[in-house]
């Protein structure tokens, strides 16, 4: 996701974590405001192109070598590179966050990575190899040229709230509060319980792999239902947007709700 998606995921998570969890992470992140998660949600993107942060570049995605639209699927052995992927990164940084023997600065960094990568794994094109997760597919969105990856990361989420140019944190908080209501008492009330099934702190790899498979499945059904070649050069701002927006919405909601549950599990283990 772009910054707006990540900040929204973080605000949703802050709405659901227990008060113990909030205290723990406000202490670790040295931020006692309601923005303690939102404020670090895009940090991982800010360091990925720096010299020291280059090793984290593959941690934002997993390149599933499936063949949409006929067959979607993630195979950890096949798809997680030696240098790592979003599934191994969630495992690594969850483990490091739980490791009381590490310096606090290392656990702080691990927390910032977790907040970011639990968001990214819910973006369907972060769970797909085709054209580097859609980066190599040129399209237009409301008649402006973008690549397909950017459309899903940024154009669709921002269009859903009518644009975020002026105050991204304010807009993200507003959207997060709306999705929080949908989870608590609205259209996601009945399904949200099932979103937490299978989340197991003693097996972060299997937990994250299930999240990646769910995101990846949308590549076949919604991102490119007629395959990559049928998308190239298309205008995606109208009918395509109408089918994609509900998927973006549910994936952002899930990411925030799952991040809260994951942070709760971590905080109750370390406390």
CB of 68 to ligand DCM, least distance (A): 14
Alpha-carbon torsion 205, 129, 6, 218, what sign? negative
Q: Which of 66, 79, 129, 153 is catalytic?
A: 153
Report d(CA 209, CA 13) in Å as an integer: 20
Q: Determine whether 193 is an active site residue.
A: no
Q: Which stretch binds ligand DCM (CB under 6 A): 69-77, 129-137, 156-164, 191-199?
A: 129-137
Residues 136-175: x where in contact with Zn ion by CB under 5 A, - otherwise, as a string: -----------------x----------------------
Cβ pair 59, 89 in contact under 8 A? yes
Report d(CA 230, CA 234) in Å as an integer: 8
Cβ pair 125, 148 in contact under 8 A? yes
- Residue 87 tokens read as 């599934």
* Of residues 60 and 122, the one with the C-beta less far from Zn ion: 60
Q: Determine whether 91 is an active site residue.
A: no
| Site membership for ligand DCM, residue 216 (CB under 6 A) | no
Cβ pair 160, 94 in contact under 8 A? no
Q: Which stretch binds ligand DCM (CB under 6 A): 128-136, 199-207, 239-247, 256-264?
A: 128-136
Residues 142-181: x where in contact with ligand DCM by CB under 6 A, - otherwise, as a string: -------x---x----------------------------
| Site membership for ligand DCM, residue 79 (CB under 6 A) | no
Q: Determine whether 258 is an active site residue.
A: no
Cβ pair 125, 222 in contact under 8 A? no
From the list 232, 220, 244, 229, the residue with the least C-alpha distance to 70 is 220
| Site membership for ligand DCM, residue 63 (CB under 6 A) | yes
CB of 176 to ligand DCM, least distance (A): 20
How far lies 221's CA from each of 14, 109, 194, 244, 248, in Å? 31, 35, 21, 10, 13
Question: Site residues (CB under 5 A) for Zn ion?
Answer: 60, 120, 153
Question: Site residues (CB under 6 A) for ligand DCM?
Answer: 55, 60-61, 63, 84, 88, 92, 106, 125-126, 132-133, 135, 149, 153
């Amino acid at each position: 996701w772009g910054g707006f998606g990540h900040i929204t995921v973080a605000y949703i998570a802050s709405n659901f974590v227990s008060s113990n969890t909030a205290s723990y992470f406000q202490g670790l992140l040295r931020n006692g405001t309601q923005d303690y998660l939102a404020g670090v949600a895009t940090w991982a993107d800010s360091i990925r192109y720096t010299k020291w942060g280059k090793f984290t570049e593959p941690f934002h995605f997993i390149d599933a070598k499936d063949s949409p639209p006929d067959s979607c699927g993630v195979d950890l052995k096949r798809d997680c590179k030696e240098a790592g992927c979003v599934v191994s990164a969630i495992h690594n940084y969850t483990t490091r966050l739980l490791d009381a023997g590490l310096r606090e600065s290392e656990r702080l960094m691990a927390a910032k990575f977790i907040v970011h990568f639990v968001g990214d794994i819910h973006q369907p094109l972060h769970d797909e190899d085709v054209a580097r997760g859609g980066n190599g597919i040129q399209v237009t969105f409301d008649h402006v040229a973008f690549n397909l990856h950017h459309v899903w990361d940024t154009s669709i989420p921002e269009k859903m709230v009518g644009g975020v140019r002026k105050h991204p944190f304010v807009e993200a908080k507003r959207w997060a509060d709306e999705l929080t209501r949908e989870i608590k008492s609205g259209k996601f009330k009945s399904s949200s319980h099932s979103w937490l099934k299978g989340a197991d702190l003693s097996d972060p790899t299997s937990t994250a792999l299930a999240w990646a498979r769910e995101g990846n499945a949308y590549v076949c059904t919604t991102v490119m239902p007629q395959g990559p070649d049928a998308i190239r050069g298309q205008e995606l701002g109208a009918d395509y947007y109408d089918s994609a927006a509900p998927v973006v919405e549910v994936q952002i909601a899930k990411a925030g709700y799952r991040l809260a549950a994951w942070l709760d599990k971590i905080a109750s283990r370390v406390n």
